[in-house]
Amino acid sequence: MFFSPSVRSKLDCPNDLWPGKAKSEVSRLWEEPTEAISRKRVAVGIAAIYGGEDVNCATSKPARFLFNVDANDVGAARYFNPTSAQTAIANTNSSLGCGDSFSAASTNCAIAAGATISNYAAFGLGTPQDVGSSCLYAPSPANPNVPLGYPCAFPGIKPQYGQTSFLQPVGRSVYNALQLKLVENVANPMRGMKTANFQVAYSLSRFVDPMGWQTNSAPTAPVAISDQDFVNQASDNDNPNKYTGPSLLDRTHQLSFGGNFGVPGGFALGLIAHFYNPLSMPVIIGDTGTGGQIFQTNFDGSGSYSEPMPGTTNGSYMRDFGLNGLNAAINNYNATQGNQPTPAGQVLIQHGLMTVAQLQAIGAVAPVVSNTVPNQLTMPWVKATDFRISWKHTFNERYTIEPNVGIYNIFNFANFNLPPGTMSGWLNEGAGSINSIQGGTGEVLPYRTGAGTGVFGLGAPRAVEWGLKLSF
């Protein structure tokens, strides 16, 4: 039977740490050792795994994986500094020849002169991430030899520090599964077949974990950026597990079957097939490439940016909704969130420092994203069937020759989006994402499994292997 590493950690703990029902979190409903199965004509194995997560055997409590968490909460809307915001707006307006005031008239003048949120963020109307450190020490755009000398508008808990990250064991993932296995050995199952041995295995599972921070540019390896085996930046510093959802390695259904068949004349046939349901992907409103990202892609006021579309979690695409549901979610987002102020912008409005129209004019609002392109590439099922035929003959009861031919992915199924070559979940990336790759065109080639590599892997284009085995 198969047990994930996280489940094995439970089984390896001393029994006295798992009294009563706690020990049954991994339930072997029916199982026999492999060597016993091999001697039977028919054998069935069933395992139910629920709540599987790493366990600290010393404390009998679930362990947690590491997240990099900003303890200073830079960018959080609740730590807004009105005085610094006024100063940043006034200095920006002044740099564009519109007086040294934060008044609406002065700001309108700056907008007419081409001011954007990047200009205002550079003078401190944002977070330490916009200027590279605490605004107290960051160089002024007006004179790089002179520091700004005042806190950022959203400085975090301690204005004298910038982002202050610490590794914290707070991440939690859970694996639940029902796994089935059938093995059968048959002699002379039908006319023309001497032996048959085959297995069928099926797994119904759900693997959930929190999402890692999606960085300030679309990740080239979207699955790795949320892989719990790496120490990732938390996607929400207030609650690192906030966006917990289907892992990007989650597969609800996995079916594999195969066997070996002996036929007359010394020939043997082998077959193995795999069918896995699609992976999932988060739906991200990512960094737009300008300063002041908390005004554009931070939807909960926590200070993190490049966040999931409001109302979604890790792995929402292909679990909570598919392609049609994605377009519906985009339409709803554009109607309710797009081109509207985020919590950081709403704070400025509440303090009378800017209006909605002014925020829209400088680009300090959530971006509007595009619907999927026609014939959008999806996250399809993995399908692969491998076939092998061999002939074995012994000479003089001493020398054996066994030529063979193996055909991998014999039906040449086209498979896409297997890690690490998957699409990004960034809706505003512009290319390479779940709303921008048109199927049936050359755009899909980077996401086809194994295409152009010359090396075979699961799901790669059909490959033929010739072999010859000599025994003496």
Residue 126, token pair as written in the block? 């944002």
Output the pLDDT for position 327. Answer: 97
The C-alpha angle 214, 218, 222, rounded to 5 degrees, equals 65
Output the pLDDT for position 180. Answer: 93
Residue 109, token pair as written in the block? 């003048």
How far apart, in whole angstroms, are the C-alpha atoms of residue 431 and residue 437? Answer: 7
Output the pLDDT for position 25. Answer: 39
- The DSSP code for 234 is B
**Helix runs in 20-81, H state only:** 34-38
DSSP track, 357-369: HHHHHHT-SPPP-
How far apart, in whole angstroms, are the C-alpha atoms of residue 79 and residue 264? Answer: 80
Output the pLDDT for position 28. Answer: 40
First vs last C-alpha separation in the chain:
36
pTM for the structure as a whole: 0.84
Strand duo 65-70 + 232-233: pairing: parallel
Question: Are the beta carbons of 152 and 128 closer than 8 angstroms?
Answer: yes
Cα 117 to its chain centre, rounded Å, is 29
**Residue 255 identity:** L
Residue with tokens 């089935």: 180
How far apart, in whole angstroms, are the C-alpha atoms of residue 24 and residue 52? Answer: 11
How far apart, in whole angstroms, are the C-alpha atoms of residue 389 and residue 85? Answer: 74
Residue 269, token pair as written in the block? 């046939």
Output the pLDDT for position 48. Answer: 65
Question: Are the beta carbons of 135 and 42 closer than 8 angstroms?
Answer: no
DSSP track, 66-115: EEEEETT-TT-GGG--HHHHHHHHHHHHHHTTS-S--SHHHHHHHHHTT-
- pLDDT tens by residue, the chain, 472 residues: 333 333 333 334 444 333 333 333 334 434 444 444 444 455 666 766 665 555 454 444 556 889 999 999 999 999 999 999 999 999 999 999 999 899 999 999 999 999 999 999 999 999 999 999 999 999 999 999 999 999 999 999 999 999 999 999 999 999 999 999 999 888 888 887 888 898 999 999 999 999 998 888 888 888 888 888 888 899 999 999 999 999 999 999 999 999 999 988 889 999 999 999 999 999 999 999 999 999 999 999 999 999 999 999 999 999 999 999 999 999 999 999 999 999 999 999 999 999 999 999 999 999 999 999 999 999 999 999 999 999 988 888 788 999 999 999 999 999 999 988 899 999 998 889 999 999 989 999 999 998 766 667 888 999 999 999 998 8
State residue 361 phi and psi, 5-degree precision: -70, -35
Output the pLDDT for position 186. Answer: 85
Shortest CA distance to 225 belongs to which of 169, 301, 308?
A: 308
Which sign, positive or negative, has the C-alpha torsion 306, 308, 310, 313? negative
The SS3 assignment for 468 reads: strand
Count of positions (residues) in the chain: 472
For residues 23-44, b (16+ Cβ closer than 10 Å) or e, as one string?
A: eebbeeeeeeeeeebeeeeebb
Output the pLDDT for position 53. Answer: 53
